[in-house]
Amino acid sequence: MNSAETGSDPADRLNSLIVAVGRDRDRAAFQALFTHFAPRLKSFMQGQRTDPGLAEEIVQETMVNVWRKAGQFDPAKASAGTWVFTIARNMRIDLLRKASRPEPDMNDPALVPEPDPPVAELISQEQEAARLRKAFASLPEDQQKVLRLVFFEDKTHAQVSEGLGIPLGTVKSRIRLALKRIRSEVGERE
């Protein structure tokens, strides 16, 4: 990771690009987003999969949906990287499993709202994302490795265990330790 990319300016730039696509259907802004995200999505989705064609299909569907959904992007709720990640993840589920992803509906009258303004909202999404990345970077390499496999390759813990040739119990304890660290950044459950 280049240290220049961790500052808030590039993140602000990506946010404004998505907002410009949503508001003005700005084609140049979209091309700039493509230049930034498509090559990263390609590596992210390919992981150790051997089929680059499928990875490109996911990239294509993701970018088309970035255009389609840009009007819904809210920088106060998620950073640009997180928003694009969730679209790509859903496209991967759609294309690989032909299944939909059940999600809560934030406008559902049955949804239980946050009791108080959550602490997380007091800091910006970029700060939150930067904090989590820092927490991730501070994890031991073996914990980082299992989390990367889980995210990049859409693998369950049993598959990660098989892929790395290490016992399932070890995978689980590494994931648990890593999540404990992440949890301390996100805030305790009451």
Partner 1 sequence: MNICHHPNEELLLDYASGALGEGWSLAIATHLALCPACRRMVDGLEALGGGLLMDTAPGPVSDHLLDSVLARIDKMPENDLAPTPAPASAASSATGPVPVLPQPLRGYVGGDAAELQWQRLGLGAYQIQIPTEGERVTARLLRIPAGRPVPQHSHRGMELTLVLTGAFSDTTGDYGRGDFQEADEDLEHRPHAAPGEDCICLAVTDAPLRFSGGLMRMIQPLLGI
- Contacts (CB under 8 A) with partner 1, residues 61-90: 63-64, 67-69, 71-72, 74, 78-86, 88-90
Q: Which positions from 148 through 167 interact with partner 1, judged by CB under 8 A?
A: 148, 150-152, 154-157
> Using CA atoms, how far apart are residues 147 and 151, in angstroms rounded to an integer?
6
Q: Least separation, in Å, of the C-beta of 162 and partner 1?
A: 14
The correct pick among 7, 8, 28, 43 for binding partner 1 (CB under 8 A) is: 43
Whole-number Å distance between alpha carbons of 68 and 72: 9
Interaction of residue 181 with partner 1, rule CB under 8 A: no
The two structure tokens encoding residue 32: 């700039």
Of the candidates 101, 123, 140, 167, which one interacts with partner 1 according to CB under 8 A? 101
CB of 12 to partner 1, least distance (A): 13
CA–CA distance, 151 with 97 (Å, rounded to integer): 16
Q: How many residues does the chain have?
A: 190
Selected from 9, 51, 141, 190, the binder of partner 1 by CB under 8 A is 190
Question: Could you give the residue ranges of the DSSP H alpha helices within 25-167?
Answer: 27-46, 52-69, 80-97, 125-137, 141-153, 157-164
- Establish if 32 lies at the interface with partner 1 (CB under 8 A): no
